[in-house]
């Protein structure tokens, strides 16, 4: 049995060596490596959070309507938590109806579904709908803003503070940074629901009587664009968090304080093009099933294994495979708890460790009682 288990582990390790991918530790490009006109920008990959380019990415700046990324995130999270339904009705207050700028001209007492409100915010950047939703979720915009700031802290945003849910007002205490916007954008696009709205180019509300056109023109002409949010005020100038996906790899390009819509879009396009032309996402999870680990004196003879998390790495296109090492004991003693760490899959490139993925028990295995143990011993003695 010992020899058999050693052969099994050896075979599995050889199988991992055949997985066709390679990963590298990537350092962000210097800020003059790509011709970006905006004073602040960043390029981030969605799954790993790897930053490929940054330019003054931690500078606090006015975010304008890019603020609504956090507003949308809280709405979507409440929907997916079951606290809110797309079919719920939202009634516009006098305050929500008073908002100008980008809006759909809500009237006091006008009712729309959450679905329509989301569409108006994501597509038309509607300030009136953002305030109406803030009041729906928290009672008042001020209380909703408290939630926005609390969520920013949970995400580790060190250069972000909100005083409103729209970004319409130029307040010195209302600020964010390119890096923080990329992080909150990453959180938002992890919810597929938002892409049902952020990818809309043209639509309508009020039974087709009021048309909507996406403020993000990349949705129309940039291949794979998945969103996400534009912004403009005279102080913030032209801001954008642009997301796009091709071949399973998705990037977030944030541009702050662009001088024009054309310049802002050109910067975002250059960043996204750089990512797609140079790198791709590679899963570090093995293609072959993991072995079951033998259990001593357990109610089952072995316990199945699982890897923790969805491990991936951003790799240069055309890369070769890394090295994989499976580290497991020969056996484990019962009882075994579900989720109990039992080993490690280490992924390396040369002397550099790219990932150490914990191998966990996929299910619990109890310890044999006296009678079942006697029965098993009796069976093994007499070949039963």
Active-site residue set: 65, 68, 125
Cβ-based burial of 369 (10 A; exposed 0-12, middle 13-18, buried ≥19): exposed
Q: Which helix (H) or strand (E) holds 91?
A: strand 89-91
DSSP bridge partners of 204: 211
Tell me the C-alpha distance between 296 and 283, whole Å: 33
DSSP state letters, 156-204: T-TT-B-SSSS--S--TT-BB-HHHHHHHHHHHHTSGGGHHHHT--EEE
- The DSSP call for residue 61 is B
| Percent of the chain as helix, strand, coil, to the nearest 5 | 35, 30, 40
Q: How many CB atoms lie within 10 A of CB 15?
A: 15
Q: How far apart are CA 268 and CA 239, in angstroms?
A: 10
For residue 306, report the phi and psi dihedrals to the nearest 5 degrees. Answer: -145, 155
Tell which phi-psi region holds residue 383, choosing left (phi > 0), alpha (psi between -120 and 50) or beta.
Answer: left
Side-chain-facing half-sphere of 336: CA atoms under 13 Å: 29
* SS3 (DSSP) at 283: strand
Bridge pairing between strands 332-333 and 293-296? parallel
């Amino acid at each position: 049995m010992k020899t058999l288990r050693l052969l099994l582990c050896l075979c599995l390790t050889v199988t991992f060596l055949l997985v066709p991918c390679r990963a590298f530790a990537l350092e962000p490009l210097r800020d003059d490596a790509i011709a970006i006109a905006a004073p602040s920008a960043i390029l981030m990959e969605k799954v790993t959070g790897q930053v490929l380019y940054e330019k003054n990415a931690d500078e606090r700046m006015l975010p304008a309507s890019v603020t609504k990324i956090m507003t949308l995130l809280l709405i979507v999270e409440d929907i997916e938590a079951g606290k809110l339904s797309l079919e719920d009705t939202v009634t516009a207050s006098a305050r929500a109806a008073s908002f100008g700028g980008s809006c759909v001209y809500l009237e006091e007492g006008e009712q729309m579904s959450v679905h329509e409100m989301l569409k108006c915010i994501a597509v038309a950047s509607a300030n009136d709908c953002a305030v109406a939703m803030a009041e729906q979720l928290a009672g008042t915009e001020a209380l909703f803003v408290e939630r926005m700031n609390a969520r920013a802290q949970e995400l580790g945003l060190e250069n972000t503070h909100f005083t409103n849910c729209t970004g319409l007002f130029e307040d010195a205490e209302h600020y964010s940074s390119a890096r923080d916007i990329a992080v909150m954008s990453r959180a938002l696009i992890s919810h597929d629901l938002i892409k049902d709205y952020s990818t809309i180019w043209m639509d309508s509300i009020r039974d087709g009587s009021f048309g909507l056109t996406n403020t993000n023109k990349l949705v129309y002409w940039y291949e794979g664009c998945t969103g996400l949010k534009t912004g403009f005020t005279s102080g913030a100038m032209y801001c954008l968090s642009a997301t796009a996906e091709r071949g399973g790899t998705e990037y977030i390009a944030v541009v702050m304080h662009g001088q024009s819509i054309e310049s802002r879009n050109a910067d975002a396009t250059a960043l996204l093009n750089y990512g797609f032309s140079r790198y791709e996402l590679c899963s570090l999870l093995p293609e072959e099933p993991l072995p079951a680990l033998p259990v001593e004196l357990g109610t089952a003879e072995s316990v199945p294994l699982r890897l923790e998390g969805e491990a991936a790495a951003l790799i240069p296109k055309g890369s070769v495979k890394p090295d994989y090492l499976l580290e497991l004991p020969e056996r484990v003693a019962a009882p075994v708890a579900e989720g109990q760490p039992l080993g490690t899959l280490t992924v390396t490139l040369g002397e550099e460790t790219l990932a150490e993925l914990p191998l966990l028990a996929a299910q619990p295995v109890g310890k044999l009682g006296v009678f079942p143990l006697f029965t098993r011993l009796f069976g093994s003695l007499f070949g039963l």
